[in-house]
Each structure stands twice: as structure tokens, then as C-alpha cells.
Structure 1
Amino acid sequence: MSESELEQGLGLVTQLEGRSVTLMFPATGEIRHYAASDAPLARYQLLADERGQHADGWYFHVEQPVLDNGVYSYQGTREDTGEAVEVPEAQLAAQVATNHPLTRLLAGKADRLDMYRLRQQAQQLSRRWQQSPVAGLLGARADLLPHQLYIAASVADRYQPRVLLADEVGLGKTIEAGLIMQRRLLTGRSQRILVVVPDSLVHQWLVELQRRFALRFSLFDRERCEQAALDTQSVFSTEQQVVIPQSLLNHPFWSQELLEVSWDLLVVDEVHQIAPSQSEFGFLRQLTEAIPAVLLLTATPEQAGPEAHFARLQLLDPDRFTDFEQFQQEQQGYRQLTPLANALAKAGAHKLLDKLLDQHGTGRVMFRNSRAHVGGFPQRQLKHYPLTDVADAFAAKTDWLIDLLKAYRNTKFILICRQTETVLHLAEQLRLKTGVHAAVFHDQLSLLERDRAAAYFASPEDGCPLLICSEIGSEGRNFQFAQHLVLFDLPRHPDLLEQRIGRLDRLGQQHDIEIHVPVVEDSADAVLFAWYESMDAFTRTNAIGSLLYDRFAAELEPLLDAPAEAEPMLTELAEATEAEAERLRAEVAAGRDRLQELNAFRPYAATTLIESIEALNEKTELSGFMQDFWARFGIDFDLLNDDSGWLRPTEHMRVSLPGLPDEGITVTFDRSYALVHEDVEFLSWDHPLVQQALELLTTDSYGSTCVAMLQNRALPTGAWFIELGFSSAALAPADLVMQEFYPRQSIRVLLDSQGRDLTDKVKPGALDNQLQFIDKKQSRLILRELRQAAQAAIKQAWPPAEQFQQELLNEARQRIAAQLDAQHRRLLELQQRNPMVRDSEIEAVAQRKAALLQATEQPVLQLDSVRIMINLPQ
């Protein structure tokens, strides 16, 4: 092989004449002539126990190299047939693994000492990350909120999870879903994900997945489907992670195409918008039957009534949810457990509480946290503005709004009303009367135009003071940076009112929320205002709004049609509503919702998760590693302040890094800084740029061969040592997540020049302080001198490496058996108390255990790195 042109592969000596030697390289067809005295050539020789490839393509295991009259033959066993073979070296495949440490060693290729050390560090860090129970939960641009992390960790690791995420408005269901997706993608539990969202939220989801989780999803709307169909028959198979608008479920052709792809995970946002009576619901049922893992998201699970809620639960587990009346009876029965659950929670009896909560039927398939249980929310302050003697309601409200904006100068207001026509008319009137250019947000805007409007309003430097939204502004968009909400009119359903207020009243809101409501006397809004006040819908969260609407809608509607004649019936309605609201809240507090809260958030478990995340995400270690990586690979990093820096590629980059634009990006390792500066990339061990660095240094050749100068006066000059790194892997399908039990292992063997094994006597890193860099020329000379001795040492190191591998495998088998047996027992016990545990989930644990144990019986051991240390004391 040519030391200077490894890419040529193996060459055959075709002529030796005088002072020149000629080689032909079959892989490239090139011919090279060299001076025989100093040709940059190295004899390629396979060692016993290595894998060789015949020129015809088949592989064989070398048992014994035989030298006969200057020509090597390799006696061994053919892999595909098991027959004994003898392969002359001239029949070896010309293509060789140029990145293999032995190939590089024979060719005299050596990396710098610091690159070798960086490779060893990356292997250690990668193993730690792969085995961490919080891998995939580290990198969200979000506060470490216990209830979100508990749900994400509980759901992400399940076998084919099928759950309803139903936290109240403002508690972060989207973040929970993103955390689940990120962990499942990074650990291999899921590869193909389909996300279905309301059309108005498509672009926001794409941005949020990228900005918060560094997850790149592809949007497939009708236009994209039509374009993709020109190039491929299976439209959705071209991407692994896909977002589609909800309307696509109703398309006669593209909806059926969705069923042609084997998705691993389905996520449906605002699932309450798809009523069981709609055709989209029927197709959604087909999707949930075809896709093994399902996440349904809604903040108002019972908005359309208990029957619709039951129908959605049937999407998750049709075998369990078969009878609506039986389901209602079961839910009523859980109410009797609430006093005991409260007492156990107050006493801190976690194990007993866990056993009790395990009996809560829907607790396994539905997670619903309440704001009262989670805490940390601001107060709501209602400001009521009665408008009397009004001839033109719209004009009166507009004049009132102008006065309000004048009274609160330099303050941001969000105004929500029912109709797009109202939005446009109001914006125009404000522009004509005051010169105020309000940002507008309605369903006639494109997704990009909506994003621009939201950004224009949010900008602290040159933004506008007012964002005017139609009803779609009350779903999906988060504006917790504002604290003033104007309800220009009132919605007809209490849940819509709660969603409007929930755009500001959410985690992250730093101030009390002021709700400004202008009400024209003797109007439908006056009726609604009185009714909503009777149930405290403005000043407290309203989880019972849907129940109250179902109870009183028939009495409310006639009053809305004739508001001027509403008294005294409105007074009677308000009194009845107040009484019923008090009763329902008492019922909810005493009943199954409390069990749901306790089951959806167990603080003692979440505390452990947060501690693990903070320990693993310690920014100094990550920052140091990444800055070393960037320095070695030709990427500039300039500190901008104590918390951020500018990262940009240079013309000296060793590799191309997807995700690093030519103009560079600003990055931070600090979560708090990233939360305040959304334009700055937040780097964690989960981030693609960090994962690329770890992969390059653990799977590529960087740092795999090294020659270093040892300076130790106690040792003879010229004494040398060889440190060999072997990698051990147990190969299994990605969804089995073998790395949690047996990540790619590094096995070290240290030999001296006499072949003595010093691995146990000299610990890793013990000699590092005595080592110095050797330039390439000296490294090449040393490698040439020690080439044969190094090959012999490599051969000698295989038995101790195999022995240590066996010890690691035995430990892994014990962990597999212990953890999965415990999981299996836990699920069996749980199923006795809670039939929501599926048989398939229990069987999957046993199958995973068997498959993982089988994979450990056929490990792959490979030479990963070689470091030669030669003693040359000054």
C-alpha cells in the first residue's frame, strides 16, 4: 500500500528493475513508479483473528498467515459457507479500510497527541450519554419544569406508548410532546414520526420543533404532496419526520397515501377539534390502528362532552374502552379513593401512593395536570368597562379602546374577537383615527404572514403596541411576554374564553394578567359577561366550563337572542350557574380529577430527573470539549460575552458539519441565556452539532493512531510502549435500545516492548503528563522502525481484549436481566390492578430481554486506536 495515497487501495508489484519498482493498483487502475530505495510503500499483512476480503467479494476469518518464498497466504474460514480456505495475498480485495488503525499504522499515518486524547474523551462522554436515563431530555430550550419532565420520561420509554396529553391550558403539552419525540428519536425507539396539527398552527409547530428541540421536520401540505408525486410513487416515504395540516386527513387521495408508510409514532395536536361525527375522525381511527405509538394532545378533553372524550380514548385502546356506561361507572368509583390518596400524598408515603394510583384506570393512558396542582401561575385581574347609552356598539368599543391605549402608553395589548371582519375593520379604524398600525392575526393570512405579525408585535425595539386576533389567536399561540388582554367581544363557549386567557396565563408569565372587557348594556355580551362572572370564568381557571355549558346552554341561548329582555331570567340563570359551579368544583376537587393530577405528576420522581439533567448538562465540561473539537477541526469560536460565542466555519475545516451555516451562528451552553435569547443556538449533549462531534471522534479515524514522546528518566532511552484501544459492540435493532445496557465499549490493553501486559499496573492517563508531541516526520520514521513489532503486539493484545470484553458482556447481561425482569414483574402486578396495561406491552418486555441477551452472544470486537509511546528523555 502507498503511504501517501491510501485511497488507491492495495497495489501489486508488477516490476522490479534496477533502482525502480512498479505497482499497479486494481481498485483505481492506476500505475505508479517509485525509487526502490525510498519508496513510500508498506507491506500489507493480515494477522491471525482478523477479517479479510477476497477479490471476489466474500469475507474470511484469518486463522494463520503462512509465509512461503516471500509470499503470504492466509489460511482461514470463509464466513458465508464455513469452508476452510487458503487465500494468497495477491487475491485479496484491492479495497481496504483506509480508516482502520492497522492500515494507518502500516502506512505511517499518525495523528497529533491532542487529537488522540480528544478521541478517548469523546468515547467516554458518548458512553455516558448513551446510558443516561435523561438522554434526549437535556436539550430543550425550556425551563426544567418537573411535571413536563415526569410525563416525558414516563411516556418516552414505554413500548409503543398510546396516551392522551391533556394538561390544562398553559402547562406545556407541546413541550411534553417534543421531549417525548426527541428522546425516542435520539435513543432509536422511533425513526418515522407523523405530526398532525391544525392548519393555522403548522408553521408554528415547525418553528417550535426546530427552535426548542433542534428537530427538523418536513411540511407536507397539498402543494408539497403534488410536487413529491412527480418524483416518487410513495409521497410520504421521502422524509422520516413529517408535519401535515389537519385538513389533509380529509383529502380523498393524500390521506390514503399516509397509510402506505410505516410510521412509528403519531402525534395529533388539538385533537378535540376533530369531532367523532366528522369524516376526519374516521380516518384518524385508521391511522391510530396502523401506527403503533400515538400521542393525542388537547387542553379540553371533555369540551365536546364525555362521549367524545370516550371516543378519543377508544382511539388509544379500542380493546379496553368498549362500553361508555361502564367507563362512567369506573370513573365514579375512583372518587372514593381520593381522601386516601390525599392523605398519602400529604404524608409523603410515595410507595403506598404509587400502588394506589396504579388502580386509577385512565391514569395509564391520560395525563392531565391542573394549574392548581402545578402552581407558579399569576393572578388574573378583571377590569370591567360598562358602556351605556350606546347607539353603535362597534364605534363605542373602538373609542373606548383608543382611550385605553392612551392610558397605557408603551404597553403591549392583545385583543381577541370572534370574527376576521371585526379584526380588519378595527385595525383600519385605529389607523385612521390614531395612526396606530396594529399587527393583525386572522385565518385569511398565510402561515408566514401570521408569523410575521406575531414577530412584529413581539419585537421590543420596533414592535407595535397592539395585536388584534380573530378567534384562532386563542389557540396555539403563546404571548406570555404580554400581560394585558382585551376581550373586544365574548365567545359563546366557556372553553373558548379559557383558551383566550390561556394565551397569556401560562408558565413563564412574570406578571399578573389584566383582562379588559368592554360591555355594551343590553347586548349579548352583557348576558355572557354576567353568566361568565357567575362561574368565576375571568378570575380563575375554568375546568368545569364545558359541563356548565352542557347544563345551561338551552337556557342561555334565548337570552342571547333577546338580551334587552333578559332580566329577571338572567339573574336566575346566574344564581343557578353559581350554585352548580360551586357543586361541580367541589365534586372535581373530591373526585377523579385529583387522582388524575397525582398520577400525572409525582414530584419525588421528577426531582431525580432534574438532578440527572443538571449533572449531565454541566456546561463547563461540554464547553471545554466542544471548544477543543472546534479548534482541532478548523472551526472558529469567538467569545461574545460570558455566556455566548460566535461559531463559524473556515477554509481549513476538516469536515462539513450540517447545521453550521457559512455565515456562522451564535451559540450558548447556558439554558437560562438561551431562554432569554431565542436567536442563540442552545448546545447540549442532545444537540445535533454535539452529536456530530461525538460520532466523528468515535466512529471515524480521527485520533486513531498516535506516536508520542515519553520523558521518563527512570526508563531506558528507546524503551517503548504500545497502547491499544479496542471497541466492542453488541448489534441489535435500534428500537431495542441496546446502548442503555451495552453502549459501544472501549477496551484498553497496554504492552511494553517485551510484550508484557501492563494494563492493570498503569492506569489510563497515568503517563499523559509525561508525553509530548512528535512531528509527522519523526512519527513516520518511528512507525517504520516499529512496524513489525507493533503488528506482533496487536496480535498479542487480542486475547486479553476478548477476555475483558467477556467480563463487560457478563455485567451487561446481569443488568439486562435485572432491569427487564423487574419491569416485567411490575407490569404483571400492575395489570392485576389496572386493566389499562396491554398484554402486548408485557410481552414486549420479555421479547426485548431475549433479543438483547441474544445480541450479547455475538459481539463485534474491533481494533479502534493505537498509540505508541517511545521514551526519549531530554
Structure 2
Amino acid sequence: MANDSVHTYVAGQRWLSETELEQGLGLLTQAEGRTLTVLFPATDEVRHYASQQAPLARYRLLPDDRGQHAEGWFFRVTEVEDKAGVLHYTGHREDTNETVSLPETQLAAQVATQHPLTRVLAGKTDRLDMYRLRQQAQRHLQRWQQSSVTGLLGARAQLLPHQLYIAHTLADRYQPRVLLADEVGLGKTIEAGLILQRRLLSGRSQRAAIVVPDSLCHQWLIELKRRFALAFSLFDQERCEQTAIDFDNVFSAEQLVVVPQSLLQSERWQTQLSEAAFDLLIVDEAHRIAPKTAHFAQLQQLCAAIPSVLLLTATPQQAGLDGHFARLQLLDPDRFHSFEAFVEEQQSYRQLTPLAEVLARVGADKLLDRLLDHYGTGRLMYRNSRAHVGGFPERQCHPVELDEAAGDDFSAKATWLKDLLRQHKPEKFILICRSAATVQKLYDFLRVQHGVHAAVFHEGMSLLERDRAAEFFASPEDGCPVLLCSEIGSEGRNFQFAHHLVLFDLPEHPDLLEQRIGRLDRLGQTDTVHIHVPFMPESRDAYLFEWYQAMQAFAAPNAVGATLYDEFSEQLQPYFTGQFHDEFGFAELIETTAERAEQLREQIRAGRDRLQELNAYRPQRANAILEAIEKDERSAELAAFMQDFWARFGLDYDELNAESGWLRPTEHMRTQLPGLPDEGLTVTFSRDYALANEQVEFLSWDHPQVQHALELLTTDSYGSTCVALMQNRALPAGAWFVELGYSSRLTAPAALVAHEFYPQQGIRLLLDSKGRDLTARVQAGAFDKQLSFIDKKQARAMLQELRQTIQQHIQSAWRAAEVQQQTFIDDAKQRLEQEMASAQQRLLELQQRNPAVRQSEVDALTERQQQLSLALSKPMLQLDSVRIVVNSPK
């Protein structure tokens, strides 16, 4: 191709505007004298240029390039012919494979303006540091896609082996339908969140609905956002009615939704939820929906309509074995069709427990696998116990009966609290009471009257204000000794760093009491939990305390409290006023409560299945997952990469301390970042720091902001073209090289998770000015230290001089890139065949022993292998980046 400046302009030629690349591919309509007229069909704009100074670049497809006809179809070029200055292309049409011939006038105007070759032709370049950042992003993305723990890296949670084992085991399963039934405090919400996040990030799930008790909706929204950076939308009655104005099915408006359980009682909304094509359903507190009710029937329809289902309950047999069986039917009605057969199976399986215990003790994992594979609910139910997992603190209850002479109820308790805080300096106390009014009254008493600093936390405050209060309380240097919370303090927050809980008043329901204590008594607590309970004689709290003591609610997690409340709440009501003095009647109630509590606990112990515990937590495998996370989280690398990204894209990052910094947008931002408020936010790359400071955003490779950065730098044009100067005295001045980066990926449905076998591959080729391949002789980054920045004006001039040769080099290099790609493809095919054959064999053997294995799981493995094999036969190779290096030793 001749130099553009002396080119003969002919009507019908296609040109790019170097200054307005966004106009698309222009058509030269007139060339008279010194004036050129170019029509840009994509925008219907016309431009007039002086022919000697036109900022135009000739657009030319080369053999094997992919072109698009104006009618929309694509073709692969096989031959290019110049006829009187206008190019004519011959090639094969992709959709019909027929041979086509067309002049360049018929090319589509919507040319790939972000394509590196197009940008080179138009003289568009990026800074050297942006090019380097793009190369880093390619490597980071490939490593993240290849990781065995993708989706498990980013939870703001302790890395607990039993949770990681369940999440890793279930998240990768085809359409998992399971009951997560860990005991109270073991983190079923975290397990469900880990499964959810891994499935969403891997592509196995795209649309998720979470059905929760109405009172827990906001807690779930907060937990999903804070722990997993997942933004769900609440669809309550009001939201549904508003959305129905614009949508036939209200749930089609969002991909991720939280739904209150009460909404299922509406046939209209329940039907729409079932028809909204969600692929993952999570139901919290599943035991609250009683079998043989209309509500349960609605849940049954919903579970039948959604392929993947997670049911969460800490008390799977709370409604008896028949209730447990009914919930298993929700998961697999074909497998669990006979209650009598189920009971018989359960009894026979328990005979295997002694042998399983021995195999677990001696570490015979393979034999234990085969034994547990026989177990009927082994693939449908996962239940860990505190006894099996270990690591929980003790509880010590400190009841304080106050002197009636100390004043009224509030005054006596407040005075006692003031003295308690002074006795235990500098320890931290959490105080929870029923109302925000009591919180404010206490704050005034402590701060104004007695100079005791306190933080307040109640529903009348904004989320930001609550965050600041929690941060003020948590700060070891500047914090206060006590956090005064209304009932909202018992939901959505964990304060394991504190060891003292003050129950300023007692809640009426045992589950609410357990929620309060659970803010401190949970995994991660390092000390004994001290529970302080002040009460006046014969008061409401005095009666409640005795009733709670009878069921041992302060001593250990209370799995029987809800059942006891249902049975005894009516008898308790007269005592809640504090005016009932029938001591004999109350003593009898306390004795009956204690006896009934023991009966219920015995039922739970009898229902506790050792085989389920062994199946739900395998320490050796869990520790391997934990090690993989610690290896792949690479927090220092991530911090360096993101700080470079922010600097290049116009965000300010100010380091606040060794573990955190303040990130805020500026008017110079190149793009918007997800979840970044106008006022900015505090971020950290340290899991430990994030756990100790819940108001700080925890960034990991799984986080949306990081994923957004990787996507921008690997799919957009940022850093895709670059010109750099090299200072090497061993080479002649003016010697130049072109470094080409190609990306290779598979085009396949997201649910196939193709990147597990074939992540986006990067292919590098280095050519000299003669087109000779130097890739093997000069490794990537070998001369990076010799390179320096060049301004855009110089870069444009160099590209204009070299672009014809560069285009020819790019064309000639395509075959070498295909050869490298084929090596990757062959390796992926071999691994696919080996891993899928092994998985199919195991599943078929398992199916013979355990009818809980659905035939659809076996068929899905075969289908996945077939589709991935097809995708591997048609990889997509694309030019991703071009760097021109010109030697200038002076």
C-alpha cells in the first residue's frame, strides 16, 4: 500500500477518520481538485477535507480477516483485488459458507473502532503505562479463571474449613438441591452466600431468588452486600405493585431478588415468581413453613419450578420426622415418595455409623467415600454440629437482682450499668434493649450525667450513622467502652471482639434472645462470653429470666426455644406484666418447661446423625481448599494492580494506614465504577482488617470493582495500542519492533463454565521490522526497562509512517498465533476428556449405590462434555494489543 499522503483518492473507497474514529467507516463520495467529501453512514455525517492534509487512514481488509457486509452478515476474506483504486473482496460467508464477492463500498459502516489494528491505522495510541496495565490484567484474569477457588476468595468472613468444604462441594454441582442444616451459629448464611457467589461468578447461575422470613429481609440484604458485595433488590408487596405497572412479570425486572415469605401467600406473586426463570432458590428458616399448609404447598410449587434449591434450617426435625421428610420431598419428590420406606432406611443407615467412625479416625478417605455414598440423604442434606466442628466459647451468665430501694426499673439498672463499666475498664460491652427510646435515655444518663462515653445504634439512624457508631465502638485506640443497641443490634452485626453482653431487658421470644447472644457467641469469639442480666424482683424480666433458665437458654445455643414458646406463650402472658404473684403456678410452669426442654433436646440428639456430620465436613479436603484460597488471594499483588488502575483511570486513593485507604471519584474519571458513592469509601485488601472494621469495603479478586477493572482492561480498547522508545546502543537508531498480543477464548453458554478448562489465553508474538519472529529469543518484559514514554504527536507520526508494514506483519503473524492457540486447545481437550471421564465414572458408580443421584446429573455431564468439545473446535482468536518499539539510543 502506498503512503496515504500520495494516495490517489477514488470515489467508493473506505476511509477512517483519525480524529473522529467514533464516526465509523467512511465512504469517499467525491474527490475533486484539492477537496475530498466523505460520508459516514453510521452517523449520517458528511465531512470535507483538503486532500493534502486529510486526517484519513485507508481501511483495508487482508486475507483471513473477518469482514461484515452492510446487510449484517460476516465473511472471511480469501482474496483482495484492486480494481481502479477500489478494493474488491472475495471470501466465504460465515452463516452459509458460500463464496461471496463484493466491493468495499458494500462493507458495513459499524467497523470495530476499538480493534487494535483499526486504532493503529487511525493513529490512536495509549500511554506505555496503560499498555503495561492491560498486560497485567490479562495475566490476572487468566489466573483468576483457572483458580480452583474462584468465588470463594471474596467473602468478608473468616476462612472456616467446614463452611468452605460445603460451599466448594455444592457450588460446582449440576443443579444442587440440598438442605443446609448446620446447628445454630455455624454459619448457614455464610455457606449459602459462598455457594451463591461462586455460582454467580462462575456462570453456573445467573438469576437467584432468596425467600426469607419477613423480619429478616433487611438483615439478608445487609449480609449479602457487606459480606459478598452482592446487590440484591427487595421485592415486597409495595415493590411488586409498583413494578407491575411496567412489567408483566414483576420479577423479570431484576436478576437478584430477596422475597419475604409472606409474599408467597399471594397467588399472583407466587405464580410470577415461579414463572420468572430463576435458576437458584434459597429459602431461609425453611422449618417455619409448616407442612400440610397452603403456604407449604406454594413453596412446593416454587421449588418444583426452579432447578437449584438450597433450604436452610438449624432444626430440620423440629416438626418431627414427617416434617423433615416433607422438606426432603421439596428437593426430590421422586426419591422421597414413601415416608415408611424413609424411616426404615434411616434406621438401617445408622448401623453404618461405627464403621464410618473407624474409617474417619484412620484417615481412610476413599473407603469412607464409598460408605457415605450409600447413605440416603448424603447428597441432599448437610449438617454440622458444634461438637463436630469445635472452636466455640463458653457462656457464663451473671444474673443481678437489683435492690428495690435503688429506684425505679430504669434508674436501678442504669446505675448498676455505670458501676459495671467502671469496674471492667477497659473492656468492651454490648448492651441490647428493646427500644431506641431506651437507648437514647441510657446515652443521656451515661454521657451527660456521668461522663461515660457510649456509642448508640438503633433503627432511627441511617446506615452510615450506624457504621460510624460501630466503628467508634470497635476502635481500640479512640473507641468507647459500650455500644448501646436497640433490638436491631441483634441482627446483621457480629461483635466477636467484645466478650461482655448486657441484656438491659429481656426479649419475649427465645429466638430473639439467641440472636442477641449470637452477636458475641459465634465462630471467631476468642474468650468466654459473659452475659449480664439485671432485673428487679418479681418484675417481667425476673419471670422471663427464670423461664429462660429453665430451658438453659443462657448456657448454650437454644434449638428448642421456638417450640417451647409456641407451647407456653399463653401461660406466660400474665407474668409479662410483672403483676402476677401465683408463685406455685409459676414454679410448676418452670418445672414443666425444664422437662419439656429436655425431651425436645433428646429428640434432637436422637435425630443427630453422625453419618451426616462426616459427610458435611472432611477436614483434610477442607484444609486443601483453605490452602488454595490463601495461595490465590494474592492481596499484595491485587493492591498494587488496583492502585495502578485507579491512578490511570482518574480516581484518588489516599492511604489512611498500612491496611486501608480512602478511594474517591474525581472529575477526571475515565469510567464509572460499580458501588462507588460520590463521597467515596474506605477500602482494604486485608481480610482481617475488613473483619475488624465492617464499614470498610473488602476488595478481593472476586469483588465487582476488581472484576470491572479486569473486564475494562481485557475487553475495551484501553492500552491496546502503544508506541514506545527504546534506548539500546547495541541496536541501530531507527530499528523497530512490533509486539503483538492475541487473546483466545471459547464462545459457549456461561452455564458450561468453559473457563475451567480453557481460560482466556494470552498469546504473544514479537517481530522485527523485517517481519522475523523473535518471540522465542526475547522473552516478555525483557526490554521493558529500556522503554520510555513517547508523546501522542510523535506516536501518530510514527504510525503513519509504519502502518502499511505493520498491517502486513500482523497479517503474516496470524498463522503463528494459530499454532500457539492449537497447543492450548490440545491441552484443554486432553484435560476435558480425562476429568469428565473420571467424573462420569464416579457419578455412575454412585448412582448404582445411592438413588439420590438423579439421572439428569449424569446426562448433564455428558451434555457439558459434548458442548465444550464443540466449543474447543471453534476457538475465537483475536488481536488484542499492538506495541511498536522504536530504538532511539540518544
TM-score w.r.t. the length of structure 1 is: 0.89
Cα drift, residue 200 of structure 1: 1.3
Cα drift, residue 36 of structure 1: 2.3
> Structure 1 residues 111 and 822 mapped into 2: Cα distance closer, same or farther (>3 Å)?
same
Q: Please point out which of 489, 500, 503 is paired with 1:486.
A: 503
> Structure 1 residues 404 and 279 mapped into 2: Cα distance closer, same or farther (>3 Å)?
farther
Q: Please point out which of 769, 772, 778 is paired with 1:753.
A: 769
CA contact under 8 A between 1:338 and 1:592: conserved in structure 2? no
Structure 2 equivalent of residue 356 of structure 1: 371
Cα drift, residue 592 of structure 1: 5.0
> Structure 1 residues 527 and 831 mapped into 2: Cα distance closer, same or farther (>3 Å)?
farther
3-state SS, counterpart of residue 196 of structure 1: strand
> Structure 1 residues 681 and 525 mapped into 2: Cα distance closer, same or farther (>3 Å)?
closer
3-state SS, counterpart of residue 361 of structure 1: coil
TM-score w.r.t. the length of structure 2 is: 0.87
Within 5 A, what are the aligned runs for 1:5-16?
5-16=20-31
- Paired residue type of 1:761: R
Structure 1 equivalent of residue 796 of structure 2: 780
Structure 1 equivalent of residue 611 of structure 2: 595
Q: Does the alignment pair 1:744 with 2:760?
A: yes
Structure 2 equivalent of residue 141 of structure 1: 156
Alpha-carbon separation, structure 1, partners of 2:652 and 2:462: 36
> Structure 1 residues 705 and 424 mapped into 2: Cα distance closer, same or farther (>3 Å)?
closer
Q: Does the alignment pair 1:270 with 2:285?
A: yes
Q: Does the alignment pair 1:90 with 2:105?
A: yes
Query: Once structures 1 and 2 are overlaid, which stretch shifts more, 686-695 or 196-205?
Result: 196-205
Q: Does the alignment pair 1:182 with 2:212?
A: no
Structure 1 equivalent of residue 347 of structure 2: 332
> Structure 1 residues 491 and 710 mapped into 2: Cα distance closer, same or farther (>3 Å)?
same
Query: Once structures 1 and 2 are overlaid, which stretch shifts more, 730-739 or 306-315?
Result: 306-315
- Paired residue type of 1:745: Q
Alpha-carbon separation, structure 2, partners of 1:439 and 1:138: 33
CA contact under 8 A between 2:471 and 2:693: conserved in structure 1? no
Q: Please point out which of 216, 238, 259 is paired with 1:201.
A: 216
3-state SS, counterpart of residue 373 of structure 1: helix
Cα drift, residue 516 of structure 1: 4.5
Gaps of 5+ in 1: none
- Paired residue type of 2:633: N
Deviations 1:789-834 (A, max 9, x none): 1111111111111122122111111111112221111222222332
Structure 2 equivalent of residue 515 of structure 1: 531
CA contact under 8 A between 2:500 and 2:532: conserved in structure 1? no
Deviations 1:538-576 (A, max 9, x none): 4234557789999x989x999999964469978986997
Q: Does the alignment pair 1:42 with 2:57?
A: yes
Q: Does the alignment pair 1:347 with 2:362?
A: yes
Query: Once structures 1 and 2 are overlaid, which stretch shifts more, 114-123 or 326-335?
Result: 326-335
Within 5 A, what are the aligned runs for 1:548-567?
564-565=583-584
Within 5 A, what are the aligned runs for 1:517-556?
537-541=553-557
Cα drift, residue 850 of structure 1: 0.9
Q: Does the alignment pair 1:719 with 2:731?
A: no
- Paired residue type of 1:344: L
Q: Does the alignment pair 1:611 with 2:620?
A: no
3-state SS, counterpart of residue 758 of structure 2: coil
Q: Does the alignment pair 1:642 with 2:658?
A: yes
Cα drift, residue 353 of structure 1: 2.8
Cα drift, residue 468 of structure 1: 5.5
- Paired residue type of 2:520: L
3-state SS, counterpart of residue 786 of structure 1: helix
Cα drift, residue 114 of structure 1: 1.8
> Structure 1 residues 322 and 522 mapped into 2: Cα distance closer, same or farther (>3 Å)?
farther
Deviations 1:588-612 (A, max 9, x none): 5xx8532222221112112122222
3-state SS, counterpart of residue 825 of structure 1: helix
> Structure 1 residues 334 and 716 mapped into 2: Cα distance closer, same or farther (>3 Å)?
same
- Paired residue type of 1:184: R
Q: Does the alignment pair 1:123 with 2:138?
A: yes
CA contact under 8 A between 2:564 and 2:593: conserved in structure 1? no
Cα drift, residue 466 of structure 1: 4.8
Alpha-carbon separation, structure 2, partners of 1:739 and 1:8: 35
Alpha-carbon separation, structure 2, partners of 1:414 and 1:719: 74
Structure 2 equivalent of residue 664 of structure 1: 680
Alpha-carbon separation, structure 1, partners of 2:39 and 2:366: 73
CA contact under 8 A between 1:535 and 1:578: conserved in structure 2? yes
Within 5 A, what are the aligned runs for 1:256-655?
256-384=271-399, 401-402=413-414, 404-409=416-421, 412=429, 414=431, 460=473, 466-467=484-485, 469=487, 478=494, 480=496, 481=498, 483-486=500-503, 501-516=517-532, 537-541=553-557, 564-565=583-584, 588=606, 593-655=609-671
Q: Does the alignment pair 1:103 with 2:118?
A: yes
- Paired residue type of 1:90: T
Deviations 1:201-252 (A, max 9, x none): 1112112211111111111111111111122222111111111111111124
- Paired residue type of 2:500: Q
> Structure 1 residues 479 and 354 mapped into 2: Cα distance closer, same or farther (>3 Å)?
same
CA contact under 8 A between 2:213 and 2:285: conserved in structure 1? yes
Gaps of 5+ in 2: 1-15, 423-427, 474-478
Alpha-carbon separation, structure 2, partners of 1:478 and 1:217: 21
Structure 1 equivalent of residue 697 of structure 2: 681
Structure 2 equivalent of residue 730 of structure 1: 746
Structure 2 equivalent of residue 824 of structure 1: 840
CA contact under 8 A between 2:219 and 2:491: conserved in structure 1? no
Alpha-carbon separation, structure 1, partners of 2:744 and 2:93: 22
Alpha-carbon separation, structure 1, partners of 2:42 and 2:587: 96
Deviations 1:398-422 (A, max 9, x none): 6764564244236645457xxx8xx
Identical-residue share of aligned pairs (%): 59
Cα drift, residue 100 of structure 1: 0.8
Task: Tell me the C-alpha RMSD between the 2 structures.
Answer: 3.8
Aligned residues between the structures: 856
CA contact under 8 A between 2:177 and 2:309: conserved in structure 1? yes
Q: Please point out which of 247, 268, 279 is paired with 2:262.
A: 247
> Structure 1 residues 108 and 531 mapped into 2: Cα distance closer, same or farther (>3 Å)?
closer
CA contact under 8 A between 1:534 and 1:577: conserved in structure 2? no
> Structure 1 residues 824 and 524 mapped into 2: Cα distance closer, same or farther (>3 Å)?
farther
Within 5 A, what are the aligned runs for 1:145-164?
145-164=160-179
3-state SS, counterpart of residue 201 of structure 2: helix
Structure 2 equivalent of residue 805 of structure 1: 821
> Structure 1 residues 867 and 522 mapped into 2: Cα distance closer, same or farther (>3 Å)?
closer
- Paired residue type of 2:819: Q
Alpha-carbon separation, structure 1, partners of 2:271 and 2:486: 38
CA contact under 8 A between 1:544 and 1:584: conserved in structure 2? no
CA contact under 8 A between 1:376 and 1:507: conserved in structure 2? yes
3-state SS, counterpart of residue 812 of structure 1: helix
Q: Please point out which of 227, 239, 247 is paired with 2:242.
A: 227
- Paired residue type of 1:789: T
> Structure 1 residues 267 and 605 mapped into 2: Cα distance closer, same or farther (>3 Å)?
same
Deviations 1:502-540 (A, max 9, x none): 343212334322334578999999999778767755423
> Structure 1 residues 235 and 832 mapped into 2: Cα distance closer, same or farther (>3 Å)?
same
Deviations 1:722-743 (A, max 9, x none): 2222221211110110111112
Deviations 1:602-641 (A, max 9, x none): 1211212222212221221111111111122222212121
3-state SS, counterpart of residue 47 of structure 2: strand
Structure 2 equivalent of residue 28 of structure 1: 43
Deviations 1:475-524 (A, max 9, x none): 7765544632539568687x776556434321233432233457899999
Alpha-carbon separation, structure 1, partners of 2:731 and 2:687: 49
> Structure 1 residues 370 and 496 mapped into 2: Cα distance closer, same or farther (>3 Å)?
farther
Alpha-carbon separation, structure 2, partners of 1:571 and 1:227: 50
